[in-house]
Amino acid sequence: MLLQRHDAVLPQVAVCIDKSRTYGRKVLQGIADYAETVGRWSLHIDPEATGSYSADWLDNWRGDGILAYVESGATAKRLRASKIPAVEVFGHHLDFKLPQVGNDDDAIGVMAAEHLLSCRLKHFAFCGYQKELWSERRRSGFERTIERQQLPVRHFFSLRRGATLAVGQRDREQLMEWLGALRKPVGIMACSDRQGLRLLEACRRLKIAVPEEVAVIGVDNDEETCRLADPPLSSVKDNGRKVGFEAARLLDQLMARPPQANALSPLLIPPLGVAVRRSTEMTAVDDPLIAMTLRYIRENSTAGLRVDDLLTRFNISRSALYRRFRDALNKSPHEEILRVQLERAKRLLDENDFTLEHIAELSGFQHSEYLSVAFKRELGLTPGEYRRKLRLGN
């Protein structure tokens, strides 16, 4: 239940969140959503707060509540001692004995694993950071899901910060050595988009084909970073906006009726889904011809590709192509072309405000009516309904 406030005195709320990060911007949007819904707060915003604060950070401040990143146990202790209602919104450490709202990192790992499993891969790896609990939780969810299929997971853990240039260079060299030794094709979950970019760069330097040899998925869905990557990076979409909204709601409740903060368990928000881009647009198959056909479909489906074009390109009869597709994928080449076109349309609906006619053209459909019919038949929604559902979910 939302707390409607009509008091003349507005609550004084400090918001200490790093706006330079995609996650931070989403959290701030969620806080704004809540503040607009329940009435105004008097906000004191520090958009560059990174989670580390000076010892006198709270001295002489007489506010009513705090929403903040907290990275150190010492800061968490000072917040508890201050008695000012506070909610931590990073969720990197879940043992600070503070009210917290954050990502469900285990569920993020599960979602990344399920996506890579859908690519029919048999080799998997995780690339994370040393001594980072949030990375470890993502690894745990990923590894547990893969191992349920009786498949092993390899690991690489790098330093997140504080390294000298020499240490950073050695870390990159070790990553490349590890990557080169992996059995391929392999699906790799990077614990973050930043780590995903490091993997893509290592693949380029080693001349490893992405996604044919290495499929990479990151986390956070930093759209500018992911879409400009080479190739564009698939990413698990966290729900930072809901984190911000729920953190603001919880803080409102704490300011009105403070419970025992230590009795509150962290509220973990599940991810929204996977933004599928080129880095995981592959299906591992044993038939070399079908593997080449799938790559050709991926690269040309948006240009109005037809099954007849495949027959000419690969000098194969229709019956043979359909039979080998069925044996390898249990689907027809036409169904695969349509799937790739629809995935392209879904991504454009999510990432842009293009008209339906323009999206149909960019996705390989001759007319928007064809796109609408295919969308409704395959997904049970019209393109407009799908876009509205995405916007509501975000």
Cβ burial of 363 (10 Å; 0-12, 13-18, 19+) is buried
- Short-list 339, 347, 338, 337, CA closest to 293: 337
All domains of the chain, ordered by start, with CATH?
Answer: 12-103+240-272 (3.40.50.2300), 105-238+275-280 (3.40.50.2300), 288-393 (1.10.10.60)
- Which pLDDT score is estimated for 6? 46
pTM of the model: 0.82
Query: Residue 17: CB partners within 8 Å, gap ≥ 6?
Result: 24, 27, 28, 31, 45, 46, 47, 49, 67, 68, 69, 89
**Which residue reads 């993020």 in tokens?**
108
What three-state secondary structure class fits 140?
Answer: helix
Low-confidence ranges of the chain (pLDDT < 70): 1-8, 39, 161-163, 258-263, 392-394
Antiparallel, parallel or unpaired: β 234-237 and 273-275: antiparallel
- Rounded to an integer, what distance in angstroms lies between the CA atom of residue 117 and that of residue 140? 16
| Residues 375, 380, 382, 383, CA torsion sign | negative
- Which pLDDT score is estimated for 2? 41
Tokens of 91: 């969720």
- Rounded to an integer, what distance in angstroms lies between the CA atom of residue 271 and that of residue 53? 29
- Which pLDDT score is estimated for 168? 79
- Which pLDDT score is estimated for 3? 45
Query: Residue 48: CB partners within 8 Å, gap ≥ 6?
Result: 18, 19, 20
- Short-list 181, 165, 163, 105, CA closest to 137: 105
Query: Residue 181: CB partners within 8 Å, gap ≥ 6?
Result: none
- Rounded to an integer, what distance in angstroms lies between the CA atom of residue 201 and that of residue 204? 5
Beta bridge partners of 103: 269
